[in-house]
Homo-oligomer: A and B are copies of this chain.
């Protein structure tokens, strides 16, 4: 019993932690220096802009506590940690989160990293290449010598995020608003959006020359926070799949063009390497993703999130050299924890 405890302690001191903090959830993984993952936990949103620092702090702690649970109390000691987070080092510093993680056993260095780098390294152990992420927002990066060399877009919903989930959802509601009062072509998106919002399209009443449905659409949309418009992006994909709706096709074609331009903006002849796709908009079943892939002239590797890449970054900061074998070990052991 006492020898078992000693062994656990010894292993524990070599354990490191990697966090992938995203807008909808925060993920933590506990691994050793060989890339073998032992614990995995998930908690709430970890974007400092949308969730706020106190909520991010709580999400990090909860995710780590959940990751440590199967390891028992003896495991609670970590030699270092990496947090991959949106806007890392511009908006946040490790100091904001250190104390909360110390209480849970973090004994060594805590390093902040870009969520974009984490997404890239979820797809490859190579230290150069490209990443394109299109979820609620959209951003592209060129990676060189393992660091961000250049980024394009990621400017947020008002200034950029062209081709993102927000952008597509925004185009959907604008197309519906134009169709409803005859400024734009008719589209099946009207019936789909009104149904999602619970608006009866058939009310004959007019207010100030406007239909009741149009007035209710205005009321419903302005009750949302703008970024929530991203939840209407799937309507465009459905309208293309279900009935080849021309308006929806045009929206997705323009989204693909915008994402290709964003990726093109970071392309440099000197940097060759894999292309990693992240985010729901570029997902496996989307023709949008394949058309951006074709425009880039190569196959893309699609990743679910940045948790494996955060582990790669944590290993590198701890002094490990991440090679193909270690990269496979991270993915295999992580998959076992995520889908037990």
Q: Which residues of B contact A162 (CB under 8 A)?
A: 174, 178, 183
Tell yes or no: A312 within 8 A of B by CB.
no
Q: Known A155-B177, A159-B173; judge A148-B208 contact (CB<8 A).
A: yes
Question: CB distance A214 to B181 under 8 Å?
Answer: no
12 A-B pairs whose Cβ atoms sit less than 8 Å apart in the complex:
A88-B208, A142-B209, A150-B209, A151-B208, A151-B209, A153-B177, A153-B183, A155-B181, A156-B218, A156-B222, A158-B222, A160-B178
How many angstroms between the C-alpha atoms of A156 and B226 in the bound complex?
Answer: 13
- How many identical subunits does the complex contain? 2
With both beta carbons as reference points, the residue of chain B lying nearest to A49 in the complex is identified as B222
Q: How far, in Å, is A152 (CB) from chain B's closest CB? A: 4
With both beta carbons as reference points, the residue of chain B lying nearest to A259 in the complex is identified as B183
Tell yes or no: A198 within 8 A of B by CB.
no
How many angstroms between the C-alpha atoms of A87 and B229 in the bound complex?
Answer: 24
Tell me the A206-223 residues at the B interface (CB within 8 Å).
207-210, 214-215, 217-218, 221-222
How many angstroms between the C-alpha atoms of A244 and B159 in the bound complex?
Answer: 24
Q: How far, in Å, is A162 (CB) from chain B's closest CB? A: 7
Q: How far, in Å, is A130 (CB) from chain B's closest CB? A: 12
Tell yes or no: A200 within 8 A of B by CB.
no
